[in-house]
Structure 1
Amino acid sequence: MKKYILTLVFALSLIGCTTSDDVNLDPHATYNTTAESLVTYSQKELSDYLNTPNVNENNFRLTMQYAQETIYVNESNYDFANRNVSNSVWQDNYVNVLKNLDQARIITEAYQPSPSENATWPVEKANKLAAIDIMKVFTYQVLVDTFGDIPYVQSLDIDKYPLPKYDKASDIYASLITRLETDLVNLSSSGTVLRGGDIYFNNDNAKWKKFGNSLLLKLGIALADINPTLAQTTINKAIAGGLMTSSADNCEFKYLGASPNENPIFQSTESRDDFVGGKTLVDFMNNTNDSRITKYYGDVNGAYIGQVIGAPAEFAEFSPLGEFAYTPTTPGTVMNYTEVLFYLAEAAARWGIGGNPATLYNQAVTSSFTDWGLAADAAAYIAANPYNAANWKKSIGEQAWVAMFNQPKASWNFYRRLDYPVLLAPPTAINNAEGKVPVRMTYPSSEATTNGTNYAAASASIGGDRLTTKLFWDVN
C-alpha cells in the first residue's frame, strides 16, 4: 500500500504562477485547494471506477457475464494478474477517492470561518464532514466487498502508518454501520452541505440523507446470512430514516460531452471494438422476451446474439453494447432507486421487513424498465416472470442480475449473497479460478512486495488469497 499512497497527487489544485517570492516551492505540488474541489474529484473517481469497463481496472461486466471481450480474452477467463488489475483497484479507491476525501476532511476541520460565517459555519461544517464520510463509508464497503480484510484503521495516515495493518472485514462492517449512523445524525436537513462542486446531489440535504440511509440498507442486507440480528436492526434504522423513493434520488455522476469528462464507458468504446454481449445474459433476455435487450445491446440484422463466455469474438458477428455505451453523457451510476428496491424486496422475503416482497419485486423490476425508458413494457414482463415465494432467492437474484446490468459491482454482491443466477466458469478459465466464477479479487501484488508481513497475516486470516475464497458474509 505504501507504493500507492506515496504517489498521491491531489486533483483540481489551485496553483498560481511562480514568482520570486516562491522560488523554494515545488511548482508541481498543491499548496492551496478547497475541500469542495477534492470532493468533486473524489466523486468523479468513484463513479469512474464503478462504471468503467477498462480491463485494467474493472472487469465485473465480464465476471457477471454481461459482456465478452473480442480479442484479448484474458480477463473473461479470470486472469486479472497479467494486468495487475487489483493494483489499479487499490489505487482507484485508496488514493484517488479515500485519500482525497480525507484531505477534504482535514481542510474542513482546519477552516477558520470569517466573522460573517460564524453563525452558519457549525451546521455547514457538520454537514460537509457528514457528506464526506458517507462517501468514505461507501468506498470502504466497495473495498471490503472486493477483497475481504483490508487496511482500514491505519489506512490513510501514511506518516504514522506507512505499512498499515489489515482489519478484519466483519469488524470493518460493524464500524461502517456505526459511523454511517453518526453521519446521518450529524447531517442536518438545513444549511449548506458543500459550497459547490457536489455533482451527485447539487447540495441537496434531503437527497444526501436518502443516499446515506440507502447505503445503510445496503450494509445491512449484506450481513443477512452471517449476522441476521445486526442486519435487521440496521435495515429497520435505514427504512425509518428515509430511503430513496424514486429515480430522482439516484446517486449519479453527470458526465460531459468533451474529453476528459465523458463517461468512462464511452471512453472505452468510442474508437475500439473490444466488447460484445455475453451469451449468458443475451440468451436469458431473449428467452424471457425482455425488451430491455434493445437498450442493453445492439442488434445484428434484427437479432441479439451473445458470444460464449471466455471465447474470442468477431465484433461484427455479435451484439455490441447498446447506444448508452456510445454516448459520452450517459450518467455514471453510484447507487440508484432500482437497487434499493431489490434490497427491500430481499429484506421483505427474508424477514417481512419493509413491505410485501412480491409488491417490492414488481416495483423493482418496473423501476428498471422505467430507467431504460420502457415503463410500458414492465407489466407484461412481470406477468410472464412473476415473483416466486417458494424460491425467492432465484426470483430476486435473477431479476437483480438483469436490472444491475450497468451496475456490475452491485450485481456481483447480489450474485454472491443469493447464489443466483447460476453462472458457470468457462472451460478456458485460468487454473487459479478452480473451475468457478470468482467470488473475490486477490490482493495487489504490490502489497505482497511492499507490505509483506501485513499482507501475509491478512491472507491467512481470510483463508487464503484466492479468487475462490469467500468473503465473511458469503456463507452459503
Structure 2
Amino acid sequence: MKYIFVIAATFLASSCKEGYLDINKNPNDAVSSTPELVLSAALNATAGQLNPNQLGHFWAGHWSPSGSVSGFNGEKTYDIPGTFYSAIWTSSYDNLADYDYVEKTATTNKQLAFVGITKVMKVLVYQRLVDTYGNVPYSEALKGPAILRPKYDDAQTIYDDLVKQLEAAVVALKSPITAENPSPGAADIVFQGNLTKWVKFANTLKLRILLRQTNVASKASAIQAGIAKAVTDGGFLGVDENVLSTPGYLKTAGKQNPFYENYGFTAAGTLSGNHDFYTNADFFIKTLVNANDPRLDRFAVKANDGAWRGVPFGEGSDPYLYAKTSGFGPAILKGYDQSQVLMQSAESFFLQAEAAFRGYLTGATAQSLYESGIKESFKFLGVTNAATAATTYYSDQAAGSYTVASNKLEAIITQKWIALGAFGGFEAWAEFRRTGFPKVPLSTRAVGTKQPARLLYPNQELGTNSDNVKAQGTINQFDTKIFWMK
C-alpha cells in the first residue's frame, strides 16, 4: 500500500502540469524545424523523384522495359487506371508542403534568399503537376486542416501566376545578403548559395513556361514581354551552368544517388533489383545510330552480341532480354555519388534557340544558340574532345546541321530531346505533346491510334476531394488535352 500511495501522491502533485503523461504526444517528434534543414531535404526530394522522369522516358521514346521483365501494361497499352503513377501527385504535394513551410518561415524571418529559392522550386513542381493533370489545386492547396478539400484552379491561370511567382523570386534573390538575410550556404545543395545562378535558373524556368504556351495565340504578347523581362532581370543559364543536386551521397544502402541505386547497382556493387528491367528504346538508339552521333556510347552500351539494339516500345520477351539490348551507358550510371539533374545548361540553350527562332529573343542567332546547346550536351555526357566533336557533328549535313534542316523547330526540339535522354524524360514528353517532335512512334501494344495527352486524377483524390474532381468533367487520357497542346 505504501508504494501505491507514493505513486498516487506523485500523480496528484503533478497533475496540474499540462501534458503530463500525455500518451498521445511523442517527445521525440519534431514539431518545428529550420528553413536550412527543410530546404536541403526538399531539394533532395525534388531531385530524387524518379516516377515522372521514368514515365516521360517511356512515352517520349527514350526508354523501354526490357524483355527481362513482365508487366508495364499501362505504360505499353496507354490503358491507364486512376492508380497509374499516382505517386506523381502525392509526392509533388508532399514536396510542395515542405517548400511552403520554408517560404512562410523564411518570410517571417525576412530570409529573402530562402524565400526566392523556394518560390523557384514551387514553380518547378507546380508546372509538372499542371503538365501532367491540367487543372489542379493551387490557390487553396497547402492550407492544411483549414481547407481539406481544395478547389481546382484553371491550368492557364496557374501558369500565369507561376510567371509572377518567378518574377517575385528574382526580386527576393537579388536582395543583398546581410546578417538578417543570410546566404543559404551549405543548405543549398544545388548552387551552394550562389544566388546569381538561382536568378538564371528562375529566368530559364520562366522561359520554359512561356514557350510551353506557343500554341496559345492569345499569349504571344505575354510571351514576348516575359522573355524580354527575363533578359533584363539577369538572363538565362549559360555555359557549364547545369542545375544539379549534390547532397553528398554515400556508398550505403538508401544513401546512394537514387537513380543509380534504382537503375544501376547496390551499395555492395551488385546489380540492383531493377537493373535489367529498363533499357533504351529502339527509336532512341536508331536515331543516334543513323546520325552517327558520338553521344551514343555515352548513353548506351552494346548488346552482348556487339550490336546496337533497342527495344521497340511495347515489345518484350526473349528477343529483348536485357543482355540482348543496349542498356544504360557510362554517362548514365556514373557512380553512387553522381549528381541528380534538375535542368541542364543544354536545355537552356535549346529554349533560347527556339525563342530566337520565333523572334522572341535577339542578340544571338537561333543557329548559334542551337549549336551551343549541342556543345553543352556533349560536354555534360563526357564525349571525348567534346567541343571539337560537337562542332564536327553539327557541321555534318546528315547529322545535326541547323543550316540544312528543312524544319528548324523540329531540329531544335529533336536536339533537346536527345540531350534530355536519361536526364529529363518528363520534359521531353511535355515537349513532344506540345510540338509533335520528334515523331515518337506509338507503342506496338497501344489501344487505339493516339498518344496519351495526360494522366487521370488519382483515385485517392477522387475519394477525398470528389466534388472538386467531378467538377472537372469527364477526363480522358487521350482527348482531354492540357491547355498548351495543339
TM-score, structure 2 normalization: 0.84
Of structures 1 and 2, the larger Rg is shown by 2
Opposite residue 254 of structure 2, the aligned amino acid is P
Corresponding residue for residue 26 of structure 1: 26
1:220 to partner: Cα distance = 1.3
State whether structure 2 residue 38 is matched by structure 1 residue 38: yes
Maintained 8 Å contact 2:260/2:336: yes
1:261 corresponds to 2:261: no
- Superposition pairs for residues 426-437 of structure 1, below 5 Å? 426-429=443-446, 431=447, 434-437=448-451
Partner of 1:365: 374
Report the equivalent of 2:313. 309
Matched ranges for 1:77-476 at <5 A: 77-79=76-78, 81=80, 84-95=83-94, 97-111=95-109, 122=110, 125-188=111-174, 190-191=176-177, 192-194=182-184, 196-226=186-216, 227-254=219-246, 256-258=249-251, 259-269=253-263, 270=265, 271=272, 272=274, 273-300=276-303, 301-312=305-316, 313-323=320-330, 324-325=332-333, 327-351=335-359, 353-354=361-362, 355-374=364-383, 375=386, 376-384=388-396, 385-387=400-402, 388=404, 390-405=406-421, 406-429=423-446, 431=447, 434-460=448-474, 464-475=475-486
Q: CA deviation at 1:330?
A: 2.1
Alpha carbons of 1:438 and 1:79: their partners in 2 closer, same or farther (altered >3 Å)?
closer
Do the aligned residues in 1 keep the contact of 2:61 with 2:283 (CA within 8 Å)? yes
- Contact 1:397 1:419 survives alignment (8 Å): no
The code of the aligned residue for 1:99 comes to: A
- Aligned AA (1:85): F
Residues 1:339 and 1:80: Cα distance change in structure 2 (over 3 Å): farther
- Name the structure 2 match of 1:61: 57
One-letter identity of the residue aligned with 2:241: D
Q: Is the 8 A contact 2:82 2:459 kept in 1?
A: no
How many Å separate the matches in 2 of 1:196 and 1:383? 42
CA deviation profile, 1:74-109 (whole Å, cap 9, x unmatched): 2441557469234200111101x1001111123324
Deviates more, 1:134-143 or 1:268-277: 268-277
Q: Structure 1 vs Structure 2: percent identity of aligned residues?
A: 25
Q: Report how far residue 427 of structure 1 moved.
A: 3.0
Worse-superposed segment, 173-182 or 73-82: 73-82
Shift in Å at residue 469 of structure 1?
2.4
Q: Is the 8 A contact 1:210 1:249 kept in 2?
A: no
CA RMSD of aligned residues (A): 2.3
Partners of 2:300 and 2:326 within 8 A in 1: yes
Q: What does the per-residue CA deviation read over 1:163-212, in whole Å, with 9 as the maximum and x for residues that have no partner?
A: 11100000001111112112212222531332542101101111111111
Cα deviation for residue 264 of structure 1 reads: 2.1
Aligned to 2:12: none
Q: Is the 8 A contact 2:61 2:441 kept in 1?
A: no
Distance of 2:347 and 2:145 partners within structure 1: 39
Q: Which residue of structure 2 lines up, in the alignment, with residue 4 of structure 1?
A: none
Separation in structure 1 between the aligned mates of residue 204 and residue 184 of structure 2, nearest angstrom: 20
Name the aligned partner's letter for residue 306 of structure 1. G
CA pair 231-105 structure 1, distance change in 2 beyond 3 A:
same
Distance 1:244 1:262, change over 3 A: farther
- C-alpha displacement of 1:285: 0.5
SS of alignment partner, residue 155 of structure 1: coil
Q: How many residues align?
A: 434
* Deviation string, structure 1 residues 127-157 (Cα, Å, up to 9, x no partner): 2212111111111111111111110001110
Q: Is the 8 A contact 2:57 2:429 kept in 1?
A: no
Gaps of 5+ in 2: 1-18, 266-271
Counterpart contact for 1:35–1:108, Cα < 8 Å: yes
Q: Distance in 2 between matches of 1:349 and 1:110?
A: 43
SS at match of 2:146: coil
* 1:333 counterpart SS class: strand
Is the CA contact 1:265–1:326 (under 8 Å) kept in the aligned structure 2?
no
* TM-score normalised to structure 1 length: 0.85
Return the letter of the residue paired with 2:477. R
| Equivalent pair of 1:64/1:408 in contact (CA under 8 Å) | yes
SS at match of 2:174: coil
CA contact (8 A) 2:102 2:114 kept: no
2: CA distance, partners of 1:320 / 1:155: 41
**Which residue in the other structure is 2:3 paired with?**
none
Contact residue 47 and residue 253 of structure 1 kept, 8 A: yes
Q: Distance in 2 between matches of 1:137 and 1:110?
A: 21
Work out the CA distance in 2 between the residues paired with 1:35 and 1:64: 36
Structure 1 distance, partners of 2:288, 2:163, is: 36
Q: 1:152, 1:182 → 2: CA distance?
A: 17
What secondary structure, in the 3-state scheme, does the structure 1 residue paired with 2:244 have? strand
Q: What letter matches 1:107 in structure 2?
A: T
- Seen in structure 2, the aligned counterparts of structure 1 residues 330 and 75 have a Cα distance that, compared at 3 Å, is farther
Give secondary structure in 2 for the equivalent of 1:325.
Answer: coil
1:235 and 1:152 mapped to 2: Cα distance?
A: 24
Aligned partners of 2:313 and 2:344: how far apart in 1? 28
Paired residue type of 1:310:
G
CA distance in 2, matches of 1:438, 1:362: 31
Higher mean C-alpha displacement, 256-265 vs 76-85: 76-85
Structure 1 gap segments, 5+ residues each? 1-18, 112-121
Q: Which residue of 2 aligns with 1:15?
A: none
